[in-house]
Amino acid sequence: MASRGIRDRVAIIGMGCTKFGELWNKGIDDLLTDAAVEAAASAGLPIHDIDAFWLGTMTSSVSGITLSRPLKLDYKPVTRVENFCATGSEAFRNACYAVASGAYDTAMAIGVEKLKDTGYSGLTGIRAVGDGTDPGLSSPAAFSFLAPSYGHKYGVDKAQMKEVMSRIAFKNHQNGALNPRAQFQKEISMETISKAPLVAGELGVFDCSGVSDGSAAAIICRVEDAHKYCANPLYVKALSFVSGPAAGPIDPGYDYTTFPEVVRSAEDAYQQAGITDPRAQLAMAEVHDCFTPTELVLMEDMGFATRGTAWKEVLAGTFDRDGELPVNPDGGLKSFGHPIGASGLRMLFECWLQLRGEAPPERQIATVSQGRTLGLTHNLGGAPGECVSFVGIVGSELGD
Amino acid sequence: MNAGIVTWGTYLPYWRLQRAAIAQVLGSGPPKGSRAVASYDEDTTTLGVEAGRRALALGPAMPDDLLFSTPAPGYLDKTSATTLHAALGLDRACAAYDFAGSPRSALGTLLMALQSAPARRTLAIVSDLRTGLAGGAEERDAGDGAAAFLCGADGADGAVAELVGRGSASDEFLDRWRVPGETDSHVWEERFGEEMYVPLAREAFAAALKDAGIAESDIDHAIVTGLHLRAVKAVTGGLGVSAAAIAPDLLASVGNLGAAQAGVALADVLERALPGQLIVVLSLADGADALVLRTTDALPAAQAARQAAGVPTVAEQVAAGRSDLSYAAFLAWRGQLHREPPRRPDPERPGAPIVHRSEAWKYAFSASRCAVCGFRHLPPTRVCLECHSVDQMQPERLADVRGTIATFTVDHLAYSLSPPVVGVIVDFDGGGRYRCEMTDVSVPELAIGSRVEMTFRRIYTALGVHNYFWKARPLQGAPVVPEPASTPASTPASTKE
C-alpha cells in the first residue's frame, strides 16, 4: 500500500479563468463557456477534440449535462464531481488520473460556481433533510475557533492576533489590487480591515473570503504529447487528497491550531514530488485562505513555518508577493473571490501564469527568475477538525 | 397501602423581567418585583423536561406512567408527553398522556398520579408559560415554570409525603378563557369570579380536612393558588390557619406560575418541611381542589440527598434568577416584537424518519462508548474513532453529565430567534466532546474553562414542527468565570457584544 503519485506523467497544456465577482449578467452556462473557450484557445485544441471532461461544482448544478449542454458536446464523457470547497481540485485530480491511465489522450477539468443568484450574502450550503441536531454554525464561526486557540497556545495576545489576521487580509488585498480578474481589485488599509464589523468570533468582514461567481478550466494530456500543443507546459508533480475522520468536533485531544488533513496531504504531496524543504524549493503557493486564521495555520501545516512562528513570519512579510515565499500572489480566496467549484483551478491558473512568466510584470513574482520552478496549490473543504484537503504541485521543468 | 410523593423537581427559567422595565416603556402597572421568563428557546415541553430531570435526578425508581399537564401545549393532536418521555429516557413500556387546556388540570394530574400510585409509579409533570398582551396584568403578574412529582406506594418507594385527604368542588362559570390559538386570556369582571371562587374553595377545603380527619389548627403549611388573585387573597384570609402556616406565593419574585404555581409552591414547602407535618394545597381554578399531605420520616434524607446531588431548590432558583432582561428582548421572545431575521435561509424542518432513527441521541442525549478502548462518541457512532472497532458500542446517556468549555465563538450570521448564536465546544466529564449551542449566557461572561450542564430546548420551529435538542448552559451555582481548565484548547474567540 502506498501513495505513489503520477509525477511527470501528465501536463497542463492550456488554461482559462474568468473574472471572478458578482457577475449579475453571467449565468453558469456563460461562465463555463468563457472558461472552456479560453482554455481551449490557449492549448490550440478545439473543445470538440477533447476526449473527456471533469466538471466541478458544489451547489450550482448537478450532472455532466451541466457542461455538455452549454458546450454542445457531441457524446463525450462528462463527470460531475463535488468535494466541498476542494471541488475544483478534485475535478483536476481525477482528470489527471484518467489521462495518466491511458484511457484518454486529452481531458478538461473545469470548475464553476454561481453563488450570487441565491439572494444570500454568504454560502447557503447543501442541506439534506436532517434530525435537527446540527448546531448550524456559519462557516466563519466554524473557522473562528482557530484564532483564539492559536493565540492561546503560542502566547499571542488578542490584539496581536487581530494584527496578524489583518496583515494576511491586507497582503491578499494588495495582491488582488494588481489582478484584473480578481473580485476585489483594491488595497484595503490595516485599520479598515481590523475595525470592520464582526461576523463571527474575532473575524470581521475583511477576514472572510469573497463570495463570488466564476469559472476556471485546465486542459491536460500525457507528458509525451505536451509539446504538440504547448511550448511551455506545466508538469504535474504531485496530487494528494485526504478526507479526515471528522475527529475535531468529537475528540477532546483536538486543539483547533492545525488541520491534520492538511498535514497529511502536504506530506504525501512532498513525497510524491520529491520535495524536502518546501519553503526553499517552492516558487509560490496558492493556499485556501477562506478566512485569515486559516492561512495562518496553513503556513505551519504545510511546513512553510515551524509551529508557533507563522504569525511572526506573516508580520515580517515572508509570504508577501515580494517575500521569501509568495503565498496567494493572485489575491487568494480573500480578494480574487471564492466561487467554490472554480477555486482549485483558479489557484492552478496563477501557477500557469507565474511559473511560465506570463504574469504581468507589475505582479510577476521574483522567485521564478531566481530559478525556482515549482508551484503548490492547496484547497480544503469543511471546517477545522473535519475537512477534506488537496495539495497539488506543478512545475515548469521535467524531472525537477 | 398508602400512596405519596416519592420525589420532586422544579424548574424556574433563568431569566427575570423586572416589572419596572415594563413600566419604563409603557408607563403601566406598579413597577415592583419581577416575573420568571422562559427563554426564547423554551416552551412548556422543555420546561417540563427540566423539572422531570430534577425529579428523577437521584434515581433509581422510574415511572410506569407519565402524565403531563399544561394549558399551553406545544402541539395539538400530537402528544407532548411522548416528547418528555423521550427526553427523560423513560422505558418504552411507560405510558405517556397529556392533560392539556386549563390550569385546573394541573392539580388534577397530581391527584390522578397520587391515586394510581399504589399500583403504578406515576410521574406527574405540570408546566406553564403564561402569555398576555403588552401592558396587561397577565404579562406583568404571571410567570413561567414547571414542577414534577414522582408518586409511588409509600412502603416500597419510600414516599416523603403521603396523600391523607382530598376534596373538590366543581362549577361552570366564565372567569378566564381563551379560544385555542389566542395568545392572551380574556377575563370577566373580577368581582364575579371572586364571588364564585370563595364558596367553592371553602367547600373543597372543608371536604379535604374532613377526609383527612384533621382540623384547621393541625395544618403546618397551607398553599393557596389560582390565577384570580383577589379570590386567592380572600380565601387565604378566611382559612382559619395560622399566618405562619401560609406558604409564600412567590408572586413578587417569579410571578403567578398558573398551572405550575401549586406544584412549585408544594415543592418549596417540601424543601423546608419537617417529618410528620401536614400540608394542604388548595387550588382555585374553575372550581376548587384541595389535597392534604402528611410528610414522612423519609423526608429529611431526601432533602439531604438532593442537596448533596446539587438539585436546585425553589428558593435557590428564585435567588439565581437573572434580572437584566430588557423588555424589548422579552417582547421579541414572546413573538410580540418582530425583529428582522439574519439574511440567511430559514431553518429546515427536521425529517420525521431521521428524527425517529436518532431518538436516543436527539431526545435522550445518549452517546456511545467503545467497549474495547473506552472512547466516548457524541453523537453515537458504530465505528470507534480511536480503535476502529465496529459495533462494540455501549449507549451512555449524557444529559446529566457536566462539561467544560474548550473553546467558543459568537456567530452573528447563523439563524436564531435571539442572535447572536453562541457556539461552544464542550468536553464532558469522563470523556467525549461535542459542539453545540450555548444558552442562558451573555457574551461577556463566556470563558474557556467555564463549567456547563446540558439543557433541553426548542432550537427552532420550522413549518409547524418544533425542533427540540440539547444545548449547553452555565452550570447552576457555578462561578461565572471559574479556574482555568487543566487542558484548555484556547482563549475566548470574542467578548464583544
CB interface of B with A, residues 319-378, below 8 Å: 343-345, 347-348, 350-351, 354-355, 357-358, 361-362, 377-378
pLDDT of residue B307: 94
Kindly report the CATH number assigned to the domain that includes residue A92.
Answer: 3.40.47.10
Residues B30 and B87 grouped into a single domain: yes
Rounded to the nearest angstrom, the minimum Cα separation between A98 and chain B is 32
User: Which residues in A lie closer than 8 A to residue B490 (C-beta atoms)?
Assistant: 145, 148-153, 255-257
Residues B278 and B240 grouped into a single domain: yes
Domain containing residue A18: 10-117+213-232
Q: Which three cell numbers stand for residue A102?
A: 491511458
User: Which residues in A lie closer than 8 A to residue B404 (C-beta atoms)?
Assistant: none
Residues A195 and A320 grouped into a single domain: yes
Give yes or no for A158 touching B (CB within 8 A). Answer: yes
Give yes or no for A312 touching B (CB within 8 A). Answer: no
pLDDT digits (tens, 9 = 90+) for B45-56: 999 999 999 999
Closest residue of A to B353, CA-based?
A131
Of A140, A151, A152, the CB nearest to B413: A140
The structure's pTM equals 0.93
Rounded to the nearest angstrom, the minimum Cα separation between B420 and chain A is 9
Give yes or no for B15 touching A (CB within 8 A). Answer: no
CA distance B92 to B85: 9
Does residue A329 belong to any structural domain of this protein? yes
Partner-chain contact B411 A200, CB within 8 Å: yes
Does residue B381 belong to any structural domain of this protein? no
Buried b (16+ CB within 10 A) or exposed e, A50-66: bebbbbbbbbbbeebeb
Domain boundary among B308, B333, B358: B333
Whether the link from the prior residue into B180 is cis, omega within 30° of 0, is no
How many structural domains are present in chain B? 2
Residues B317 and B410 grouped into a single domain: no
Residues A288 and A326 grouped into a single domain: yes
pLDDT of residue A304: 98
Mutate to test the interface with A, among B355, B421, B433, B459 (most CBs of A within 10 A): B433
Does residue A63 belong to any structural domain of this protein? yes
How many structural domains are present in chain A? 2
pLDDT of residue A127: 65
Does residue B266 belong to any structural domain of this protein? yes
User: Which residues in B lie closer than 8 A to residue A165 (C-beta atoms)?
Assistant: none
Give yes or no for A116 touching B (CB within 8 A). Answer: no
What average pLDDT does the segment B340-357 reach?
A: 87
Of B357, B423, B459, the CB nearest to A137: B423
pLDDT of residue A118: 83
Does residue B92 belong to any structural domain of this protein? yes
Residues A223 and A96 grouped into a single domain: yes
What average pLDDT does the segment B446-472 reach?
A: 95
Residues B281 and B345 grouped into a single domain: no
Domain containing residue B251: 3-333
In DSSP terms, A392 is beta-bridged to: A239, A377
Residues A111 and A180 grouped into a single domain: no
Kindly report the CATH number assigned to the domain that includes residue B280.
Answer: 3.40.47.10
Long-range contacts of A157-165 (CB under 8 A, 24+ apart): A158/A202, A158/B491, A160/A311, A161/A202, A161/A311, A162/A194, A162/A202, A163/A190, A163/A194, A163/A315, A164/A292, A164/A296, A164/A311, A164/A314, A164/A315, A165/A202, A165/A203, A165/A207, A165/A292, A165/A293, A165/A296
User: Which residues in A lie closer than 8 A to residue B412 (C-beta atoms)?
Assistant: 198-200
Does residue B236 belong to any structural domain of this protein? yes
Does residue A353 belong to any structural domain of this protein? yes
Mutate to test the interface with B, among A137, A146, A150, A205 (most CBs of B within 10 A): A137
Residues A169 and A63 grouped into a single domain: no
pLDDT digits (tens, 9 = 90+) for B78-95: 999 999 999 999 999 999
Question: Tens digit of pLDDT per residue, chain A (400 long)?
Answer: 689 999 999 999 999 999 999 999 999 999 999 999 999 999 999 999 999 999 999 999 999 999 999 999 999 999 999 999 999 999 999 999 999 999 999 999 999 999 999 887 777 666 678 899 988 899 999 999 999 999 999 999 999 999 999 999 999 999 999 999 999 999 999 999 999 999 999 999 999 998 999 999 999 999 999 999 999 999 999 999 999 999 999 999 999 999 999 999 999 999 999 999 999 999 999 999 999 999 999 999 999 999 999 999 999 999 999 999 999 999 999 999 999 999 999 999 999 999 999 999 999 999 999 999 999 999 999 999 999 999 999 999 998 6
Closest residue of B to A152, CA-based?
B490
Please, which pLDDT band fits residue B31 given cuts at 50, 70 and 90?
Answer: confident
Report how far apart, in Å, the C-alpha atoms of B350 and of each of A376, B122, B137, B462 are.
42, 31, 37, 8
Give yes or no for A249 touching B (CB within 8 A). Answer: yes
Which of B413, B360, B370, B386 shows the shortest CA–CA distance to A200?
Answer: B413
CA distance A341 to B134: 51
pLDDT digits (tens, 9 = 90+) for B470-497: 999 999 765 443 333 333 333 333 333 3
Does residue B375 belong to any structural domain of this protein? no
Domain boundary among B304, B333, B362: B333
In DSSP terms, B471 is beta-bridged to: B455
Residues A198 and A217 grouped into a single domain: no
What average pLDDT does the segment B154-172 reach?
A: 89
User: Which residues in A lie closer than 8 A to residue B492 (C-beta atoms)?
Assistant: 148
Residues A93 and A184 grouped into a single domain: no
CB interface of A with B, residues 124-143, below 8 Å: 124, 127, 129-133, 135-138, 140-141
Partner-chain contact A149 B423, CB within 8 Å: no
pLDDT of residue B344: 77
Identify the three-state secondary structure at position A312: helix
Give yes or no for A147 touching B (CB within 8 A). Answer: yes
Closest residue of B to A121, CA-based?
B343
What average pLDDT does the segment B286-308 reach?
A: 96
Give yes or no for A245 touching B (CB within 8 A). Answer: yes
CA distance A251 to B406: 11
Residues A337 and A284 grouped into a single domain: yes
> Which residues of A are catalytically annotated?
85, 338
Does residue B275 belong to any structural domain of this protein? yes
Partner-chain contact A252 B423, CB within 8 Å: no
Does residue A360 belong to any structural domain of this protein? yes
Give yes or no for A46 touching B (CB within 8 A). Answer: no
Residues A277 and A355 grouped into a single domain: yes
Residues B150 and B290 grouped into a single domain: yes
Kindly report the CATH number assigned to the domain that includes residue B451.
Answer: 2.40.50.840
Residues A29 and A163 grouped into a single domain: no
Closest residue of B to A140, CA-based?
B411
Which of A83, A113, A84, A91 shows the shortest CA–CA distance to A20?
Answer: A113
Give yes or no for B467 touching A (CB within 8 A). Answer: yes
pLDDT of residue B334: 95
Residues B344 and B306 grouped into a single domain: no
Does residue A124 belong to any structural domain of this protein? no
Closest residue of B to A161, CA-based?
B493
Partner-chain contact B433 A251, CB within 8 Å: yes
Partner-chain contact A129 B355, CB within 8 Å: no
Residues B313 and B449 grouped into a single domain: no
Q: What angle do CA B46, B50, B52 make, to 5 degrees?
A: 110
Which of B249, B264, B210 shows the shortest CA–CA distance to B51?
Answer: B264
Residues A91 and A199 grouped into a single domain: no
Does residue B497 belong to any structural domain of this protein? yes
Of B345, B409, B469, the CB nearest to A133: B469
Residues B17 and B54 grouped into a single domain: yes
Of A132, A245, A256, the CB nearest to B350: A132
Q: How many CB pairs under 8 A join A and B?
A: 146
Residues A184 and A302 grouped into a single domain: yes
| pLDDT at residue B199 is higher than 50 | yes
pLDDT of residue B60: 73
Q: What does R_g of chain A's alpha carbons equal in angstroms?
A: 20
Q: Which three cell numbers stand for residue B494?
A: 470574542
Does residue B368 belong to any structural domain of this protein? no
Closest residue of B to A134, CA-based?
B436
Residues B130 and B10 grouped into a single domain: yes
Of B351, B412, B425, the CB nearest to A130: B351
pLDDT digits (tens, 9 = 90+) for B317-327: 999 989 999 99
Q: Got the DSSP string for B147-167?
A: EEEEEEEHHHHT-SEEEEEEE
Neighbour-count burial of A101, counting CB atoms closer than 10 A to its CB (0-12 exposed, 13-18 middle, 19+ buried) = exposed
Q: Got the DSSP string for B362-376?
A: HTT-EEEEETTT--E
Of B421, B468, B491, the CB nearest to A152: B491
